[in-house]
Structures are given as structure tokens and as C-alpha cells.
Structure 1
């Protein structure tokens, strides 16, 4: 994806939230800016940086060489997050948010350290959940560009969390979750109707006394302090330009620039970052499977499930009769080592492959993959749409519930398990797994989902290609940053 606009004198500092689901899209976005000529300073925490280098079996020098070989001007910096080495980080999100809130002075010191070899900072591209960048951008006198790694609708809901609190929609009660009729009408932007079940799960009543509840409300206040807003989505999926403008409280520009992982993929490039060692042996196995016959199963990098639930899932996958590729992280069973049902591996060995991690976009693009059983994280949801693979949603936490509901009810590209969103303790039985998988993989339901998602796949590709909405929106952003840089000369 080569832009016609270059910006050789521009310098974007990119600061992701320290979790793979945030680091990856911001890395992809940084690469898109670098392709257009930006110098990029990519800032992560030391804990994240060490995990990334370990997963890639490389070191910082080799990573710098890779960027240089691809013609990208990158500088990688890291800073301590203030937590002890054995802290759970994403498994103890509230404490992680509190630590990150205090990183402003360290980040500012890191960025202002003398280095005459790089251009002056033009802007700070901040993950929407890194509030400390507001003060840093103000002190440095540069625009704060908020990048949303979730869908537009959830971004708008989160931005307005304190308004929803004042109106009594937060905290979300158990009765609210079960209601199919209650609709929240005070949300701005051209987005589908929002129900209580669509609000980020950390705002549910059971979390009120937890750090994560107040942390998300705190972040919402700083998500309104922006000079520019960018969303990892595309207009054809989410209501056009009017939807994104629902994010803009102060009237600043708000643009859809995604899917940011797609341009690299279309050019045969991989993102430079993954926090997990990838098993690529699965592609030979996929090559041996019939077209659209394989169910791909993955719940992302953070989700955990009980051992009992994983056993039911395993038995359901066995019963459905379809080949399946299952990404089974070592820590998915609530942090414990998982033992699959007795005899499961032997009984399914001729049509199943279990791996610890793999290249998801490449898997979803493989002709043999016909469905995706997913936690509905936004990256996974958007990647499935981009590759034209219909989904079964099994949300676990945070914004996954709204992504699942929209995929099923509005975009009509997926199915789900009845009642999971309203009851997080619900056990999905092997019979339910078998039934829903069969609905997705065969018959009229699956065919309709494939027709719908094929249209979105085509639209997403057009969006990131020259002349497409996301491509042109990104060019507009670059032009606006050039104007700001010129005004300071």
C-alpha cells in the first residue's frame, strides 16, 4: 500500500497499550505511516518489549535491521511499567491501568532525551487507553492523536461512559443484561441501537468494587482530550463518516483507517510483532483439507475458560465431524495446564490439529478454512471479515460482547451461543457446540453468512486500496500532519 503522499520530515511517536491486541494494530498503523515517509518512534513497556523479542527469537539490533531492510524508518524505545516482574499484567488489568496512568513523566523524559539524528516530534499517536499521553502531548506542544483499536460503536460508548454513568445506565445490572427490549438512546453517532449488554463488561454491577471499573471511567475522561481521532475499522462496515464523528466531542477530525492489518497482508508482509511463538506447521495440514471444510478455533491471547468448559468444547468439536484447527494456549485453562478428555487426541487425530499459536490472518485466508470459532476480540472479528470467514462468537470479556452481537444481528456474518452474553457463568454444552458448528458449516444458514461476509471482504479490500475510503482517510491524516508541521517552521 504505497501512498502518493510522502512526509519525510514528519515524526510520529506511537504508544500502544501493552497487550498484543493493541500492540499489533498500532504496529500495523505505524508501518503504514512509515511507508508514507514518517519517522516512527514506537514506545512499549520493557515487559512487552522483552516478550516480543523472545517470541521472535531475535534481539533489538536484528529488529532494527528488519525495519531498515523494508525501507521503514523506525526507532524502538521502552520504559518500565512500574510493576514487579511476576505481576500478571493483563490478568490483573486494574493494577496495570493504575501503573500506566503514572508513566507520563518517564515517557516525556524518554522522548526529550537529546537525539539530533531524528526529526522533531510531529504528533503522539496514543492508544485510546493510555491516558498519560494527554499531558505529555500538551507539554511537548504536539497533537494528541487517539487511535481506537476497537470498533466505532464500542469506542463511542466508552467515550461516553461517564455520561452513561450520570444517566444510570452504568453500572449494568443483571436485569439489564437479560433485557432484550431496553435500548440506550443517548449515544451519539450513526451506529446501531445500543443495549446494556453491549456496554464494556467491566461496567457490570459485579465489578463496581474492583479497580478495573474505576480505571475505565478514568480513561474515558481522557479519551475526550484529542486533536485527532482514528479508528481501526472501515466506513462501509460502520455507518460511514457520520459514525466516526460520533467520537468527536470537541469537533476534531475522526476517521476510519482500517483494517490496518490488511495492506501488509495483501502485499505478503507480516507485522514485525507477535507476543507468542508461532507454529507454522499447520499450513501443510491445511493444504491437505478440502475447501471450506475446516473450523478454525481461537480465543485470542488473553481469554481463559474453565477446564470443564474446555472439555465440553473438545467433545463438541469431536462430535461435529468437521476437521478443526484449534489454537490452545498453555494458559487458557484459567492459567493451568489443560488435560483434554481421555482419548480425545486419538479419536480426532485424522481430522484435527492442535497448536499453541499461529499466524491468524494467513490461517483465515486459507481456502480450506470455512468457519471461525472466536472470542470476538475486535482484531479477530475484523480479520475474519477481511478474509471472508463467517464466525461463531463466544465472547469472554470487555468489548467482545458488542462485537459478537453486531456480527450476528447487524452485519449478519456470524452466530453465537444463546445466553452467553447475559450469563458469563453459562456452560456451553458439547451438544450446543455441535449444533451451532453444523449450522455454520453446512446448510442454508452457513450459505447466507458466507454471502454476507463475502461482500464485506470485498469492501474491506477496496477500502485500503488506492482510492478507497480508508486509504484516502489515511492520506488526509498525513496531509493534516504536514500542515501542522509546516505551521511550526
Structure 2
């Protein structure tokens, strides 16, 4: 795309500073960079430090791909603040950082850097609204959730007006409380499907008002992109995310085009945790579809008692497993595994702190995924044809888990964890779920069908491929007009 009439499209991408949000936008940024865009990827300083660790690595990344740069701005929170462990305070701080973001972009544009063509903003980063307006460029709203969860968030204030929010969790799965008023031809939602921060117990937490405010602000954009694909959720779902008739397109899974082409640069794998590649060598030694992959993402926590039950359930299942045990998984502490457990499972188990997840899910030895049901993990598993056991923790994960099981039919879950976050899932339940997902040929067949649909969508002529081309051409035309106005 770069070089058409010497016009360069310059996209600024601004994720919410959490691992899953950064992952989705970094994949999209790489996709645009491969099509000739000049990319400015803007993190908060805290996120950048977690991702790069040193200015040297950041510099190396810049020189490895000269049309891709990283900038950062302060979130105004003190260094010791927990950020993602106090999400409401993080949201509130970021709302006020538009001036800092705008000052950064104005300072770092010019001197060979092309003018900004558009700002691609995470759907919950309303601080970009004033920046786009003041710089007179379109704000492109990027939804890192599935379309149904994005619609529920976009129309959350309407649901509040209708009395669906705050959610009384005692009514979370009552049929007469099902939500059927949302657009997009999406399945009817249980109250428990809504983003968990809308539940009654959060009304005194800053996160409740913060996400409700972001819902109202999500209408402020001139273009909308969703990290899903039409064959999974339908064309009408993406259309329902449109702001006042603006283009609204499904363009996902955004990680998949570069993955299929073998693009595996460091920029494609930005992680706040150090990845352990040794697990891939261990997987090489396992039989096809014989390993259960266990990972709860970057934020989910479990009690020590629950981790004990999980460990013993995995052991009783008889299947091999690769288990991601973050150093803070046990309510902020390292897990203590049951006595003798590691010795008893040493011939069929591997424990790591973090993995290169895409490579793990793509490995032929992996036959199932026990997951927190974050959208990145869900769509990655779908794209690799791996059935799931969902164990949601917060946010949009409850909707993703239910849709995986009931709508897309490529997963299982545990009864009532969506309405009782204190329920202890027993080892027998875990054993049963593992055996059922690993041995379910019908579910594996359905997973393979969705895998092929996802890959077809992002390949030449597919729905997401064509939608991305539409977006690219629209931004190129804008860049051309912008260039003419400067002459």
C-alpha cells in the first residue's frame, strides 16, 4: 500500500493496557504494517516497561521494521499501583490522559514521520476521542471482544435504562430475564453473559461506573472494526456495532493471516510474561491430540484449594497435560501443588510459567484447552481446531464460554461457575470434563470445521480479507486527500 502516489497511510494504534487487549491490536498492527502502513503503537509507560524491559530491545524492534514504532505515555498512576488488579482506578486514570496522548503524537510527528491518517482505538479507550477530534482524523473503534460481547458493551447504557443492569446474579440464568432487545441477530443473552463488572457486587467499585461510561463513549467513532469473522457470528453482528451508519466490519481473527504466512517476529508476540519455548520440544515427544493445554491467561486467579482440586482432577483423568502456572496464580502467590503430585505425573506433565500460546495450540499433540475463555484464547483455539473446557473468571469471559459450548458447540464448561465465583469445582468434575473433551470426536469434528472457516475468512477472497481491503482502501483514499490538502 505504501508507495501509491508516494502516499503513506499512518495508523496510530492505542490499546487498553492489559495483555489481551495489547495482543489483539499488536496483531492487527503487524497486519497493517505488512500492507505498507506506517504504524505508531502507543502503550502506557507501565505496559511498555513490562513488554520490553529495556530501551535496547525497543530500539532493536524499531530497526527490524522501520515502518513500525513504539511510543508511550504516562498513565498518571504511582509506580506501585496494581493497575490490572485495580481496574476501575486504571480506567478512571486513562480517561483523563487524552491531553498527554495528543501532546505525544504532535511531538513525535514530522521530521520524516508521515502525518497521522487515523487513530485505531481500543473500544474502551475513550481518551482517544478528543485526540482524534483535535487532530482532525477519524477515530477507528477496534473491538477486541467477540461481536456479541462488543454489542452488549456498546449498548450497556441502554440495558441499564431497561433495568437489566446492574445484574442480580440470583437472576443470572432465569429464562424470563433473558435479554432479547440487542441488535445484530445475536443469540439471546442471559444476564450472566454481560460483562461481569455490571453485577450488583461491583456497583460500589469504580469499575462499574467506568465501564458504563465507556459504553456511552463507544458511539464516538467514524469507523468500527471487530476481531471476529462473519462465518462465526454473522454479518449483521458487526453491522450492529456501527456508529450512526459508519462502516463496521469483521476483520478477524487478526492474528491469523501473519501466522499462516509464517510471520513470527518478536513484534507478533508481545508478552508481559517471559515465554518458555521448551514446552514445544516436550510436545514434540507426545502423541497426536493426546495433551490437554491448561492456561488461565494473564489475570485470572484461583484459590489454593481450587488449584489442589484441579491438580488432582488432571491426574485422575489419565491424560497428559501442559499447565501454565503463573507465579501469581494462587490469589497473587505461587501455587503449591499437592504432595507427590509432580512425581506421580512426571511422565505425562509439564509445568511452565508462560508459553508461546499460538504455537502450543497449533501443535498436533494438543487435543484440548482448559481456558479462562478470554476472547484471544477462544478465537485462537477455534482457529487451531482445538476444543475447549471453559472456566471463566471475569469480564466478557462468561459470554465467550457459553457461546463456545452452546452456540459454536466446540466446548464444555462447569455448572454454575458463571453465577457462583466461590464455588469449588471438584476433582471429579474436572476429570470428567477432561475425558469428555479429549475423547469427543463430534466436538473435534466441529472444531475442525470452524478452523477451516476461520482460515478461509482471512485468506484471499474471504470475508475478513475483503473487509480488511475495504478498510485499507478507505484509509488510503483519506491519506491521498490529506496529502493533497497539504500542497
TM-score by length of 1: 0.95
Q: Say whether 1:133 aligns with 2:128.
A: yes
Q: What is the aligned partner in structure 1 of residue 78 from structure 2?
A: 84
| SS class of match (2:125) | coil
Q: What is the aligned partner in structure 2 of residue 17 from structure 1?
A: 16
The structure-2 alpha-carbon separation of the partners of 1:151 and 1:4, relative to structure 1 and needing over 3 Å to count, comes to: farther
State how far apart, in whole Å, the 1-side matches of 2:4 and 2:19 are: 30
Q: CA RMSD in A?
A: 1.6
Q: What is the aligned partner in structure 1 of residue 345 from structure 2?
A: 348
Aligned 8 A contact 1:8 1:37 in 2: no
1:155-205: CA deviation from partner (whole Å, max 9, x where unpaired)? 001000110000000000022213145321210112111111110000001
State how far apart, in whole Å, the 1-side matches of 2:55 and 2:102 are: 30
1:6 Cα deviation after fit: 10
State how far apart, in whole Å, the 2-side matches of 1:5 and 1:184 are: 48
Q: Say whether 1:472 aligns with 2:466.
A: yes
State how far apart, in whole Å, the 1-side matches of 2:414 and 2:241 are: 31
Q: Say whether 1:449 aligns with 2:443.
A: yes
State how far apart, in whole Å, the 2-side matches of 1:6 and 1:473 are: 23
Q: 2:297 aligns with which of 295, 300, 306?
A: 300
Q: 1:363 aligns with which of 360, 363, 371?
A: 360
Q: 2:237 aligns with which of 232, 240, 243?
A: 243
Q: What is the aligned partner in structure 2 of residue 53 from structure 1?
A: 52
The structure-2 alpha-carbon separation of the partners of 1:223 and 1:391, relative to structure 1 and needing over 3 Å to count, comes to: same
State how far apart, in whole Å, the 2-side matches of 1:126 and 1:487 are: 22
Q: After superposition, where does 1:297-446 map in structure 2 within 5 Å? A: 297-442=294-439, 446=440
Q: Say whether 1:258 aligns with 2:255.
A: no
Aligned 8 A contact 2:221 2:243 in 1: no
Q: What is the aligned partner in structure 2 of residue 200 from structure 1?
A: 195
TM-score by length of 2: 0.96
The structure-2 alpha-carbon separation of the partners of 1:191 and 1:295, relative to structure 1 and needing over 3 Å to count, comes to: same
State how far apart, in whole Å, the 2-side matches of 1:166 and 1:247 are: 19
1:87-106: CA deviation from partner (whole Å, max 9, x where unpaired)? 11111100100111111000
State how far apart, in whole Å, the 1-side matches of 2:255 and 2:283 are: 22
Q: What is the aligned partner in structure 2 of residue 36 from structure 1?
A: 35
1:116 Cα deviation after fit: 2.3
State how far apart, in whole Å, the 2-side matches of 1:423 and 1:19 are: 25
Aligned 8 A contact 2:227 2:252 in 1: yes
1:255-291: CA deviation from partner (whole Å, max 9, x where unpaired)? 0111111112112223141111011111111111111
Aligned 8 A contact 2:170 2:419 in 1: no
Aligned 8 A contact 1:361 1:383 in 2: yes
Aligned 8 A contact 1:128 1:147 in 2: yes
State how far apart, in whole Å, the 1-side matches of 2:3 and 2:309 are: 52
1:484 Cα deviation after fit: 2.1
Structure 1 runs of 4+ aligned residues shifted over 3 Å read: 2-8
Q: What is the aligned partner in structure 1 of residue 62 from structure 2?
A: 64
Aligned 8 A contact 1:291 1:367 in 2: yes
Q: How many residues align?
A: 479
| SS class of match (2:389) | strand
Q: What is the aligned partner in structure 2 of residue 228 from structure 1?
A: 223
State how far apart, in whole Å, the 2-side matches of 1:267 and 1:78 are: 29
State how far apart, in whole Å, the 2-side matches of 1:134 and 1:144 are: 7
1:8-37: CA deviation from partner (whole Å, max 9, x where unpaired)? 511001101111101111011011111111
| SS class of match (1:332) | coil
Q: What is the aligned partner in structure 2 of residue 118 from structure 1?
A: 113
Aligned 8 A contact 2:374 2:396 in 1: yes
1:52-85: CA deviation from partner (whole Å, max 9, x where unpaired)? 113x9952211112224xxxx1121111111111
Q: What is the aligned partner in structure 1 of residue 92 from structure 2?
A: 98
Q: 2:180 aligns with which of 181, 185, 204?
A: 185
Aligned 8 A contact 2:291 2:368 in 1: yes
Aligned 8 A contact 1:325 1:352 in 2: yes
Aligned 8 A contact 1:159 1:220 in 2: yes
